[in-house]
Each structure stands twice: as C-alpha cells, then as structure tokens.
C-alpha cells in the first residue's frame, strides 16, 4: 500500500515544521514546563490545564497568530481550510515535536466547528473569535447519570418560556467545567419523545453561560486526586433562545458532528505513544536496569511497538477510505478500541519496567519522574470510557462491520 503524500501535502508539512522550528524553542525557553508529564510531554487532561492555564493559553495564541490553532476551520475564521490528509499530517507533526497542550481543546476541536457549521452569523461573530483566541475556556455537557453510553436517553429538561428556556436537571462527567465560562449542552425539549420510542428526537443544543443563576458546577475528585470532571446542576436556569445552536429538536445532529470531530487526528496518538514507550525504556535503563534483561518484559516492549505501528496503519486505512468517499467501518471503532487498550497496556508496562519506585506517588521520596508514571497508570483506566465506551465500540463493530444479529 502506498502511503506517500502528494506535493501539496508535503508543502503543508514543510510549512508547519518550519514554523515550529522557529516558534517552539523560544516559547519553551520563556515558559516553564511544570506541567510536563512522562518523558517531558505536557501533562494530559485537566491536570495540565489546572497547573499551567496561562502557559496553554499563550501557546494557543501563538498558534492562532500563525493560523495553526484551528487548521480545519475556514480561512475567514482563522483556519486554513485544511483537508483530512493535512489534519493527519498536523496531528502527527505536533505529536512528533511534543508541543505543549492547548488551552481550549473542547472549543477548538469540537464546539468551534459546530458553531461555524450550525450557528447564526451573530453567534459566529460572538463566539468563534472567543474560542480561537483563548478568551474563555469551554466545556461540553452531554452525559447524564442515566444517559452515558445511551446518550439519547438524556432527560435534562428545557421548557420554553417566551424568549428563554428554563432548565432543570443534571449533567455529569463534564471535562473541566469548573474552569469554563461557556459550554455546549444537550437538553430535552420534547419530554414525550422517550416514552413514544423516538428518543433521538426532541433534543436541542444550547450554548450556556455557566455564570447564569441557577447553575451549580461541582468538581468530581477522581482516583488520582485530580478534579478533571464535573457535575453540572440546573435549577430553573434561564437560557436565551437566541443561544440555541441549530433548530429546536436538531440537537442530535449537532451532537453527532461534535463527536465526529472528537475522533479526528488520532493518527498523532500513535506517535505520542511511541515517544512514551521510548522514554520509559530509556528511563528504565537508569532507574531499573535489570528489567530489560527479563525476556518477558522485552517481549512486552516488542509487542507494544508492534501494536503502536498497527494503530498508525489502521488510522491510515481509515484515512484512505475517507479519501475514496467510503464508509470507514470498522476502522473508527477499532482505532478507539486499540487506543484504549494501548494506553492502559503502556501504563502497566511502565510500572513494571521502572520498578517499585514507579508506583510511588507524587511527593514520595523515591518517586520516578515526580510520580507522573503512577498517575498515568491510574488515570488511563478512563480510556475504556472516554470518546465512546469499549462495550459500545464492540457493539458497533458487531453490528456495522460483522453484521451480527441483534438477538
């Protein structure tokens, strides 16, 4: 199979690498890397955001100034109208350079594209520059206590009252909502739809100011001790109808576009994982040198290398189908499953390679890398849930790819 890129794509890659070579070193020299995770990579998730908000904001603004923050956006909104192939090149290149985290991932990758696609001219003018320039942090509120994997079962109620919706209900697992000023939320505007067997109908997308009276954001402390996720409670909160994204009852369409955006750029994950694997092997040589003499551990390292390469090729296969206008089943759910498996496998391999000290928590006398690998080991359990649970992905593969009977 030919994985060569065309001349236009190679020119795009060269422009990006030239820009990074010029701008990244002075940025790293100016801003500390206190939120660096394993192998010096910027700490993932809200933990990094909490510790280095201003660093991430500065990096996003640096990217935006060069039109590298949101390359898939239209040029008129600060993007580059990048193709799917160029998005893959971008993802891989940023991973290879191990660039800092950005301030507003939810906004840039998910919510911003949806506002550009579904929003009115007034909404675009109001919120798109806000997202691009890292003015405010944004979150996403979809899941509920009774609507996680079965998202269409959501029940947060929005009752129309003149030019406002009155909201009552609860959202959960909202990433970084305690840091956010704005969020994109799905609510139920037709309460009869579930009972009538049409639960995908009657769902509406609202852009919500989290400082609105009647809204309470409560951080959830996870097993790592971090507060990455939040519960969001609505108690009679009044949201302007003018802040609705798309038409009433079109929320499911908006949501599917948002979740699709969440899965773009996964090719870069394989390169990031390869860097992490190389880093843990290099570190093991100094902190636990005997580990690499163990044939079982050496075999696990080799297996991890193989699976990382498989993941990269799986993403390329999905890309080739997109370019041929074919449905990329089962590559998308397979890639998600493989990412979840690899993330957990690498974390488990790390603590075995690095020895007992790898399990020492942050602040412990003998902690390796300040306890970063311990946190990674615990935190990566979430990958079975994030961006689509493992069980749901398997059901999708069984249904769409294997055509297995439902009963």
Q: Which of 51, 85, 103 is the last residue of a domain?
A: 103
pLDDT confidence tier of residue 35, bands split at 50, 70 and 90: very low
CA dihedral 135, 269, 118, 231 (to 10 degrees): -70
Residue 170: how many other CB atoms lie within 10 Å = 18
For residue 334, tell me if it sits in a domain: yes
For residue 361, the 8-state DSSP code is P
pLDDT of residue 261: 47
Helices (H), 293-405: 295-323, 331-354, 372-379, 390-396
Highest mean pLDDT among 147-156, 256-265, 362-371: 147-156
**Are 397 and 324 part of one and the same domain?**
yes
Rounded to an integer, the average pLDDT of 23-36 is: 78
Q: Regarding predicted confidence, which is higher, 189 or 365?
A: 189
User: Could you give the percent of the chain with pLDDT greater than 70?
Assistant: 90
Looking at the predicted structure, is the pLDDT value of residue 206 above 90? yes
- How many domains is the chain partitioned into structurally? 3
Do 94 and 167 lie in one domain? The reply is: no
- Whether residues 21 and 91 fall in one domain: yes
| Together in a domain, 167 and 229 | yes
The mean pLDDT of the chain is 85
- Within-domain flag for 117: no
What is the spatial distance between Cα 300 and Cα 282, in angstroms, rounded to a whole number? 15
Sign of CA dihedral 343, 345, 347, 353: negative
- 304 with 354, same domain: the answer is yes
On the 0-12 / 13-18 / 19+ scale of CB atoms within 10 A, 240 is: middle
Q: Is residue 76 part of a domain?
A: yes
Q: Is residue 131 part of a domain?
A: no
Please write the tens of the pLDDT for every residue from 347-359: 899 888 888 877 7
Q: What is the pLDDT of residue 265?
A: 53
Domain boundary among 103, 122, 149: 103
**Which whole-number Å values give the CA distances from 175 to 45, 231, 290, in the listed order?**
8, 9, 40
Instruction: Please tell me the least confidently modeled range out of 96-110, 117-131, 270-284, 320-334.
Output: 320-334
Stretch among 62-76, 111-125, 240-254, 316-330 having the lowest mean pLDDT: 316-330
Res. 203: pLDDT tops 90:
yes
Q: Indicate whether 407 belongs to any domain.
A: no
Question: In the predicted model, is pLDDT for residue 51 greater than 70?
Answer: no
Digit-coded pLDDT (tens) for 136-178: 999 999 989 987 767 778 999 999 999 999 999 999 999 889 9
> What CATH number is given to the structural domain containing 246?
2.40.110.10
Strand partners of residue 231: 218
Which residues lie below 8 Å from residue 91, measured CB to CB, with a gap of 6+? 264, 265, 266, 267, 268, 269
- Is 130 a domain residue? no
Distance from C-alpha of 286 to C-alpha of 16, rounded to nearest angstrom: 35
Q: Please, which pLDDT band fits residue 43 given cuts at 50, 70 and 90?
A: very low
- Confirm if 217 and 232 have CB atoms less than 8 A apart: yes
Active site residues: 262
Tell me: do 242 and 280 sit in the same domain.
Answer: no
**What is the predicted pLDDT for the residue at 390?**
79
Is residue 300's pLDDT more than 90? Answer: yes
Is residue 175 within 8 A of residue 219, CB to CB? The reply is no
pLDDT (mean) for 24-31 = 92
pLDDT value at 193 more than 70: yes
Q: pLDDT: is 361 or 235 the higher one?
A: 235
Whether the bond into 186 is cis, omega within 30 of 0: no
Q: What CATH number does residue 25 fall under?
A: 1.10.540
Q: How confident is the model at residue 321 (pLDDT cuts 50, 70, 90)?
A: confident
Kindly state whether residue 258 falls inside one of the protein's structural domains: no
Q: Which helix (H) or strand (E) holds 232?
A: strand 229-240
Could you tell me which residue, 257 or 34, shows the higher pLDDT? 257
Distance of alpha carbon 266 from alpha carbon 264, whole angstroms? 6
Average pLDDT over residues 122-126: 97
Query: Does some domain include residue 132?
Result: no
pLDDT for the residue 118: 94
Range of the domain at 245: 138-251
């Amino acid at each position: 199979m030919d994985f060569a890129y065309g001349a236009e794509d190679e020119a795009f890659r060269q422009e990006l690498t030239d820009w990074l070579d010029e701008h990244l070193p002075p940025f790293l020299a100016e801003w500390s890397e206190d939120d660096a995770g394993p192998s010096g990579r910027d700490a993932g998730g809200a933990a990094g955001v909490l510790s280095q908000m201003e660093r991430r904001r500065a990096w996003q603004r640096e990217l935006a100034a060069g039109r590298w923050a949101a390359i898939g956006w239209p040029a008129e909104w600060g993007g580059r109208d990048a193709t799917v192939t160029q998005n893959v090149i971008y993802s891989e290149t940023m991973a290879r350079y191990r660039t800092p985290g950005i301030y507003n991932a939810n906004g840039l990758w998910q919510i911003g594209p949806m506002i550009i696609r579904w929003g009115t001219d007034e909404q675009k003018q109001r919120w798109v520059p806000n997202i691009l320039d890292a003015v405010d942090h944004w979150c996403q509120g979809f899941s509920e206590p009774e609507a996680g994997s079965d998202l269409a079962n959501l029940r947060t109620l929005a009752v129309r009252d003149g030019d406002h919706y009155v909201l009552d209900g609860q959202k959960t697992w909202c990433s970084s909502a305690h840091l956010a000023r704005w969020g994109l939320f799905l609510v139920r505007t037709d309460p009869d739809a579930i009972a009538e067997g049409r639960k995908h109908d009657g769902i509406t997308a609202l852009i919500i100011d989290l400082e609105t009276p009647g809204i309470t954001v409560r951080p959830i402390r996870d097993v790592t001790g971090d507060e990455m996720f939040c519960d969001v409670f609505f108690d009679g909160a009044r949201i302007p109808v003018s802040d609705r994204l798309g038409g009433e009852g079109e929320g499911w369409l908006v949501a599917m576009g948002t979740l699709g955006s969440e899965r773009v750029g996964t090719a870069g994950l394989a390169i990031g994982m390869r860097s992490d694997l190389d880093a843990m092997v290099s570190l093991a040589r100094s902190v636990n040198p005997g580990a690499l003499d163990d044939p079982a551990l050496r075999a696990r390292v080799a297996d991890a290398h193989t699976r990382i390469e498989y993941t990269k090729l799986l993403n390329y296969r999905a890309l080739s189908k997109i370019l041929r206008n074919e449905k990329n089943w089962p590559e998308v759910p397979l890639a998600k499953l493989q990412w979840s498996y690899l993330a957990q496998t690498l974390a488990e391999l790390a603590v075995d390679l690095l020895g007992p000290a790898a399990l020492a928590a942050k602040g412990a006398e003998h902690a390796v890398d300040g306890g970063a690998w311990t946190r990674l080991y615990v935190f990566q359990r979430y990958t079975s849930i994030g961006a689509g649970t493992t069980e749901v992905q398997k059901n999708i593969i069984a249904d769409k790819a294997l055509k297995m009977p439902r009963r």
